[in-house]
């Protein structure tokens, strides 16, 4: 029987140095999914890649196909197979529960953050676009969204919901105190960057935005009444900024140690703070060795996030109850899925008899109803059905013999 599996790395199992190796852009995901789907025994597959996790959701015939899938993925990414020591693996209902937790924000670094549901939707959309989902993952996705909605509406976990971007800005606030006089440069104009910009705007920081696509930077700056810096002028003007928040999909360092060294000299070594919430990282970690330069990456934000956790722990427990309630319902659907073929075969094999004998038709209807209500007893019900049919035939044969004898 096919089963559901989840394999991956997340902020609980692997540091950013490992996660960034496996991180996949949308373009990569479109390329990778059809390739790993061709592995024998793999029926369906979806790939979720965010700043805190890279996870593969698969429906497969067993553990071995999934193991080959993981090896193939790592080889395509050019990653040493030893990275698996930083990974996690779930199967069956544990895998289903994990998917529901992820979509609900219960497994996020900032518990209850809402951004993950959009990332989960996007991961599914890509898999759907390239044709690597099927009946099981389609259903898993629908139920994951249902669970996420229930967790948001039936608990207080999303009250005053925050995100990684919010935590980054909170850290900047903690470092500088009042941000009103601070000059902040936002590198990137994607969703996470936009969230950070909105928080910064509320704190009345002097906001500057740069992006490889100039038009995107202009659009975001206009909506937030900020200023635009051309991307190619980033190095030249870096010295002007107190705080630099970086959030892009680039796979290389956009801010290098030598550039920061020159900027510090020009600003007379006045402290400068970098917050890099990109995965892979976009700021050279060597800048931490420079005097009066402070760099925080996505993993450094976890300490801030954990303080938030204490206030949400009770709501998280309520969320867990909802998750397992939905897992139980999904489990029943999986059981039913496993007997659907048997039901189809039963109807097909007894089709002609059913047309001739109303009693058999009634028996089949009752069996199918009971199996759909409780799939776990399908084997017993099918045996009872066969025994009932056999007994009925025996009774008819005896009746026929008796009637002939009587007539003689």
According to DSSP, the residues that pair with 222 across neighbouring strands are none
Question: In order of start, what are the domains of the chain with their CATH numbers?
Answer: 3-161+313-332 (3.30.460.30), 164-291 (3.40.50.720)
DSSP state of 229: -
Q: For 231-249, write each residue's pLDDT tens digit.
A: 999 999 999 999 898 988 8
Q: Is the dihedral of CA 282, 185, 229, 165 positive or negative?
A: positive
Other beta carbons less than 10 A from residue 43's beta carbon = 18
The H or E element that residue 4 is part of is: strand 3-10
What is the distance between the alpha carbons of residues 8 and 86, in angstroms, rounded to a whole number? 9
pLDDT of res. 222:
87
pLDDT digits (tens, 9 = 90+) for 319-330: 888 899 999 889
Q: Any idea what DSSP says for residue 83?
A: G
Tokens of 376: 């776990």
Sheet holding 88-91, edge to edge: 42-49, 53-60, 3-10, 88-91
Query: pLDDT value at position 398?
Result: 40
Tokens representing residue 89 in the block: 């693996």
Helix, strand, coil: what percent of the chain each, to 5? 60, 15, 25
**How confident is the model at residue 393, as a pLDDT?**
53
- Strand 3-10 to 53-60 pairing: antiparallel
Neighbours of 34 (CB within 10 A): 13
Helix 358-373 with 378-407: angle, nearest 10 deg: 160
Fill in the DSSP letter of residue 153: H
User: What pTM, to 2 d.p., does this model score?
Assistant: 0.71
Q: How confident is the model at residue 401, as a pLDDT?
A: 38
pLDDT at 232: 92
Name the token pair of 313: 């722990």
Predicted local distance difference test score (pLDDT) of residue 182: 84
Residues of the chain with pLDDT under 50: 397-408
Q: What is the reported pLDDT for 400?
A: 40
Active site residues: 51
């Amino acid at each position: 029987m096919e089963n559901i599996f989840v394999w991956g790395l997340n902020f609980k199992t692997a540091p950013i140095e490992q996660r960034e190796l496996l991180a996949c852009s949308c373009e990569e995901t479109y390329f990778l999914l059809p390739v790993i789907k061709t592995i024998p025994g793999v029926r369906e597959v979806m790939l979720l890649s965010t700043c805190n996790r890279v996870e593969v959701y698969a429906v497969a015939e067993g553990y071995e196909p999934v193991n080959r899938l993981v090896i193939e993925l790592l080889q395509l990414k050019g990653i040493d197979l030893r990275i698996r020591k930083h990974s996690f693996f779930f199967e069956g209902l544990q895998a289903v529960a994990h998917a529901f937790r992820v979509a609900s924000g219960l497994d996020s670094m900032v518990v209850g953050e809402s951004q993950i549901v959009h990332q989960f939707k996007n991961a599914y959309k890509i898999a759907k676009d390239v044709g690597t989902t099927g009946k099981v993952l389609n259903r898993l996705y629908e139920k994951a969204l249902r669970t996420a909605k229930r967790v948001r509406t039936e608990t207080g976990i999303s009250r005053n919901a925050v995100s990684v971007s919010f935590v980054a800005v909170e850290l900047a606030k903690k470092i500088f105190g009042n941000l009103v006089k601070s000059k902040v440069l936002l590198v990137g104009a994607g969703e996470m960057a936009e969230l950070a910009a909105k928080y910064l705007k509320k704190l009345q920081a002097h906001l500057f935005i740069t992006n490889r696509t100039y038009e995107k930077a202009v659009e975001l700056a206009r909506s937030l009444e900020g200023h635009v810096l051309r991307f190619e002028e980033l190095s030249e003007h870096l010295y002007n900024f107190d705080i630099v928040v970086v959030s892009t999909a680039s796979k290389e360092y956009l801010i290098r140690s030598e550039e920061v060294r020159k900027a510090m000299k020009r600003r007379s070594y006045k402290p400068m703070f970098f917050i890099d919430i990109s995965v892979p990282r976009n700021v050279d970690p060597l800048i931490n060795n420079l005097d009066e330069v402070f760099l925080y990456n996505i993993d450094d934000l976890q300490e801030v996030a954990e303080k938030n956790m204490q206030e949400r722990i009770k709501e998280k427990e309520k969320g867990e109850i909802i998750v397992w309630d939905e897992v139980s319902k999904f489990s029943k659907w999986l059981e039913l899925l496993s007997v659907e073929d048997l039901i189809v075969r039963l109807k097909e094999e007894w089709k002609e008899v059913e047309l001739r004998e109303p009693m058999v038709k009634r028996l089949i209807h009752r069996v199918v109803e009971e199996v759909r209500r409780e799939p776990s007893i399908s084997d017993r019900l099918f045996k009872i059905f066969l025994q009932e049919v056999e007994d009925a035939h025996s009774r008819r044969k005896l009746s026929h013999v008796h009637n002939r004898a009587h007539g003689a």
